Amino acid sequence: MTRTALIFGVCGQDGSYLARFLLERGYAVHGTTRDLAGASYSTLDALGIRERVTIHAVAPQDAAAVERVIGAVSPREIYHLAAQSSVGLSFAQPAAAFGSILTSTLNILEAIRQQAPSARLFHASSSEMFGDTSAVPATEDAPPRPSSPYAVAKAAAHGLIATYRQAYGLHAGSGILYSHESPLRPERFVTRKIIRGAVAVARGEAERLELGNLSVARDWGWAPEYVDAMWRMLQQDAADDYILATGITTTLEEFVRLAFAHFDLDWRDHVVQTEAHCRPTDVACSRGNPAKARERLGWSTRIAMPELVTRLIQVELEGGHPGVPPLT
Ligand SMILES: C[C@H]1O[C@H](OP(=O)(O)OP(=O)(O)OC[C@H]2O[C@@H](n3cnc4c(=O)[nH]c(N)nc43)[C@H](O)[C@@H]2O)[C@@H](O)[C@@H](O)C1=O
């Protein structure tokens, strides 16, 4: 029998890779986007799968619309990836961050509790909720110490998922996602910005690249690998929370150095640090221990730093995603 999955936020980086992953495994894949006419399908187009996904117009902050789509699709697996994903933007638009992250999560949980209690739910939590973890890599039990509107909302949504699991017995779990990158990332995120910037300088199309704080350190992985973990979580008999990370943390300065060094360039000749690109507060260092995911899900990453930089540059130089038309 064909298995059916519903992905809230199918047009994002993770939604698109997950849709491809599930299609490859024979799933009927449904996905939501807020506005069919206004939606950008560039990620689904880049992977060549737009025609194979049934897309529904749903604003996840609209409880009735969430109930309707879950009732209509009747999915066994639900993936909640629909929320504002930019930490930086959440400082400028905190209310929007809260609505998109927290209200959407509550609506999906309530719809499942009321009318699809046997459905399984994956929720995208974030390492940002732990704050600075330079002293000890976070485990799933680490206390939340959020330091941005985005992280506060994610910590609350994470708590809701655990509460519904415990109080109502739902099969609902959070993947605590560390940064995971790909050519589908927009330039709002620093990795794509750096890769594009280094390529532009190497080609003589730009002279400099403006960035913010380079002393921060992050655990960067390869996004297509993370959707496998999301799926594995929903194949477990019991739902739980898992840290999804490579376990390798690198400074942003080192990322920049590697990107420019790929073209025999010294980043210090081209990168300018400006206040305008710094956040009011920023997580200094993000470290996570993915042991539980390795032991219980059999999941670990194959691609990590520094290979990630080379891979992103190669795709950028080829003009898009491997094997599919270039991204515009
Ligand atoms: C785990 C977490 O991962 C991602 O959030 P993020 O780490 O904030 O991603 P980002 O690429 O915007 O920033 C990374 C770091 O780089 C610093 N940085 C310096 N200069 C620039 C700069 O010019 N632009 C940007 N965007 N960042 C800069 C910036 O201050 C920050 O320290 C999302 O997936 C999120 O959804 C998520 O949950």
Distance 190 CA to ligand 1 centre (A): 6
d(CA 165, CA 152): 20
**pLDDT tens digits, one per residue of 86-127:** 999 999 999 999 999 999 999 999 999 999 999 999 999 999
> SS3 of 57, please?
strand
Residue 324 pLDDT exceeds 60 = no
- Tell me which residue has its CA closest to atom 28 in ligand 1: 190
**pLDDT tens digits, one per residue of 226-238:** 999 999 999 999 9
The mean of the pLDDT values for the chain is 95
The residues near 46 (Cβ < 8 Å, ≥ 6 apart) are 16, 183, 184, 320, 321, 324, 325, 327
Question: Could you confirm whether 128 is annotated as catalytic?
Answer: yes
Helix, strand and coil in the chain, % to nearest 5: 45, 15, 40
Ligand 1 atom nearest to 148, measured from its CA: 8
Ligand 1 atom nearest to 283, measured from its CA: 32
Question: Could you confirm whether 17 is annotated as catalytic?
Answer: no
**pLDDT for res 327:** 38
The catalytic position among 16, 104, 125, 126 is: 126
Residue 210 pLDDT exceeds 50 = yes
- Nearest Cα neighbor of 173 from 161, 190, 184 is 161
Query: Which pTM does this prediction carry?
Result: 0.96
**pLDDT for res 36:** 82
The catalytic position among 128, 181, 225, 316 is: 128
CATH annotation of 4-180+221-244: 3.40.50.720
Average pLDDT estimate for 283-291: 98
Residue 328 pLDDT exceeds 60 = no
Distance 283 CA to ligand 1 centre (A): 9
Average pLDDT estimate for 146-165: 98
Superfamily of the domain at 183-218+249-286+302-318 = UDP-galactose 4-epimerase, domain 1 (3.90.25.10)
Distance 12 CA to ligand 1 centre (A): 16
Residue 325 pLDDT exceeds 70 = no
Q: What percent of the chain stands above pLDDT 90?
A: 95
Distance 238 CA to ligand 1 centre (A): 32
- Tell me which residue has its CA closest to atom 27 in ligand 1: 190
CB 46 within 8 A of CB 324: yes
- Tell me which residue has its CA closest to atom 14 in ligand 1: 190
CB 31 within 8 A of CB 10: yes
The residues near 222 (Cβ < 8 Å, ≥ 6 apart) are 180, 181, 182, 301, 302, 303, 304, 308, 311
Domain map (residue ranges) of the chain: 4-180+221-244, 183-218+249-286+302-318
Angle at which helices 223-234 and 13-24 cross, to 10°: 60
Question: Could you confirm whether 41 is annotated as catalytic?
Answer: no
**pLDDT for res 321:** 63
Place of tokens 């390492």: 127
Distance 189 CA to ligand 1 centre (A): 6
> SS3 of 5, please?
strand
Of the pLDDT bands very low, low, confident and very high (cuts 50, 70, 90), residue 11 is very high
- Tell me which residue has its CA closest to atom 35 in ligand 1: 85
Same CATH fold, 183-218+249-286+302-318 and 4-180+221-244?
A: no
- Nearest Cα neighbor of 123 from 140, 143, 102, 142 is 102
Q: Which of 87, 252, 281 has most ligand 1 atoms within 8 Å of CB, for mutation?
A: 87
Distance 216 CA to ligand 1 centre (A): 9
d(CA 196, CA 61): 34
**pLDDT for res 214:** 98
d(CA 127, CA 91): 17
Q: Which residues line ligand 1 (CB under 6 A)?
A: 85, 87-88, 126-128, 177-179, 188-191, 193, 211-213, 216, 218, 252, 277, 279, 282
Q: Tokens for 283? A: 């997580």
As for the ipTM of the complex, it is 0.99
Beta bridge partners of 96: none
Torsion of CA 291, 5, 19, 299, to 10 degrees: 10
Of the pLDDT bands very low, low, confident and very high (cuts 50, 70, 90), residue 323 is very low
Of the pLDDT bands very low, low, confident and very high (cuts 50, 70, 90), residue 326 is very low
